[in-house]
Structure 1
Amino acid sequence: MTSKQQQKEVIVITGGGQRVGLYCANQLLQQGYQVVVSYRKHSPGIAALYETGAHCIKADFTSLADIAGFVEALAVYPALRAIIHNASSWQADLPLAPVATTVNLLTQLEQDAAVFDAMQHIHARAPYLLNRALLPQLTASNTADIIHLTDFVASVGSSKHQAYAASKAALENLTLSLSRKLAPTIKVNAIAPALLMFNESDDAAYREKALAKSLMAIEPGPDEVLQSILYLLNSRYITGRILALDGGRHLNLP
């Protein structure tokens, strides 16, 4: 780490190798922050971040050893301006077996538990552990923020992604608990997006159906998350809030 990097305010973004995390990391670098990102797999996005001055750390947050390694790698920064928990995995629930027997029931339970545990580990356990481990460095900053990226489904549920939705709801509850615990030194908030950006593989029918779910009926892109992050970072007063970023989807009733 250079002396110039040491003079910058440090923002940590988990899951910064693609899509929203990558966009926000690039933009925050351009705004003069020292950005640290975690990633699970090396990608062109990570290579580009590295070239532009980001500190990129490989870590699988389902592994306690990797979480410990990530925290140890951050020890070079005496103070952290913010940590943005963006790392995520979107696993669907498995189909239920049509007939339950003693043998296939146990297998089904094991498979369902694996999905549930994976979602909780990445979306709730890892942020909980990282926030606690990095608290001294956050406290050392004159102003500090913890920002959790959750999801619209945390408040309404999901029929096909129940484990995912439950894990994001757990993260929103952690937002409330931490904001009470850490005020007034550290602000803790969450951003709960609905649709932000499509994948290249999404067909026209899917896109039309997805756009119709919100009042605004647009694909807003990752900049909406960036602007929400900047809004929270610049505020001196907002804490313990879940910032809905859903285009009015909660009002688009039948």
Structure 2
Amino acid sequence: MQPTILITGVGKRIGLYLANAFIAKGYHVIGTFRSHYPSLDTLSEAGADLYCCDFTSNAEVNSFIEAIAHKYSQLDAIIHNASQWLPDKSPMPAGDIMTTMMQVHVSAPYQINLGLASLLTQGDRLTDIIHLTDYVAQKGSKKHIAYAASKAALENMTLSFATKLAPKVKVNSIAPALICFNEHDDDDYKKQALAKSLLEREAGEIEVLNAVNYLMGSHYITGRSLALDGGRHLK
């Protein structure tokens, strides 16, 4: 049977890269997106099953869970990549910022993990949940306090789900720092960002894919967070 993986936030950057990589590996990819990008048309043409879902809406998340539970009999992995990055100085009221960050990074993954757990525990297979957290989950952030707190909560939730879903499901986190720059990032910003790590280089999406492959390939790692930070913790 063709393995099936759910990846949230596949419209661009890391999510898009992972979706294409798993399609190339022969997986059937289920993906979520909030806004439409041309890249999604290409994913759909390649066979991905895509769902527009706003993770700030409990109703939309629940509808998505119901659709997947009705359509599929099993899943081999869930990768929680969907993310939103709101600074604390956003025009949005502070309470709304925190609510949004917690909804996207904690509540939605919590609902999805609980709602689709039965698809991961079918048969004797060893399956995976992977949470993409952030380097700031351990360090904190002066300008993105709500974001950092929500990613820390997601990392903590890794421990609870690893315990709850063992021994059939491995649950781990990947905590990246700088992975890849945006097109609009200028040279000064790039220089400052690269200087924050010991290795002083852009990781690239391949580093996240390699980490995902490592965790999914293991039969003995669960409840752990894998740091992808270029040695930032030693600076």
Normalised by the length of structure 1, the TM-score is 0.90
**Letter matched to residue 51 of structure 1:** E
- Tell me the amino acid that sits aligned with residue 31 of structure 2: V
2:93 to 96, 101, 111: 111
Name the counterpart of 1:98: none
CA–CA distance in structure 2, aligned partners of residues 51 and 227 of structure 1:
25
Runs ≥4 residues deviating over 6 A: none
Any idea what SS the aligned residue of 1:130 has? helix
Unmatched runs of 5 consecutive residues or more in structure 1: 1-6, 96-107
Give yes or no for contact 2:133–2:175 (8 Å, CA) kept in 1: yes
Structure 1 residue 77 displacement after superposition: 1.2
Task: Give the one of 173, 180, 189 matched to 2:163.
Answer: 180
2:84 matches 1:89? yes
Alignment of 1:1-254 (within 5 A): 7-74=1-68, 75-94=70-89, 111-140=93-122, 142-252=125-235
Aligned length: 233
What is the CA deviation profile of residues 190-232 of structure 1, one whole-angstrom value per residue up to 9, with x for unaligned ones? 0000000001111110000000000111111111001110111
Shift of 1:182: 1.3
Mapped partners of 2:35, 2:29: distance in 1: 18
* Whole-angstrom CA distance in 2 between matches of 1:15 and 1:251: 31
Alpha-carbon deviations, 1:144-184, whole Å to 9, x = none? Answer: 10000000000000000000000000000000111111111
Deviation of the 1:42 alpha carbon? 1.1
Determine if contact 2:106/2:153 at 8 Å carries over to the other structure: yes
Alignment check: 8 A CA contact 2:31 2:48 kept: yes
Distance in 2, Cα, partners of 1:140 & 1:44: 35
What amino acid sits opposite 2:137 in the alignment? A
Structure 2: how far apart are the matches of 1:250 and 1:178?
Answer: 26
Q: Deviations over 1:86-106 (max 9, x none)?
A: 0000000027xxxxxxxxxxx
CA distance in 1, matches of 2:161, 2:208: 21
Task: Calculate the TM-score normalised by the size of structure 2.
Answer: 0.97
Q: 204-213 vs 58-67, which deviates more?
A: 58-67
Opposite residue 140 of structure 1, the aligned amino acid is: Q
Cα separation, 1, equivalents of 2:63 and 2:180 = 32
> Aligned partners of 1:163, 1:64: CA distance in 2, in Å?
19
Which SS does the other structure have where 1:122 is aligned? helix
Residue identity opposite 1:85 in structure 2 = H
For 1:25, the aligned partner's letter is A
Q: What SS is found at the alignment partner of 1:89?
A: coil
Cα displacement string for residues 106-151 of structure 1 (whole angstroms, at most 9, x for unaligned residues): xx9x811000000000001100111000011011151210000000
Give the match for residue 99 of structure 1: none
For structure 2, the 5+ residue unaligned runs are none
The whole-number CA distance in structure 1 between the counterparts of 2:14 and 2:67 is: 23
Matched-pair contact (CA < 8 Å) for 2:62–2:111: no
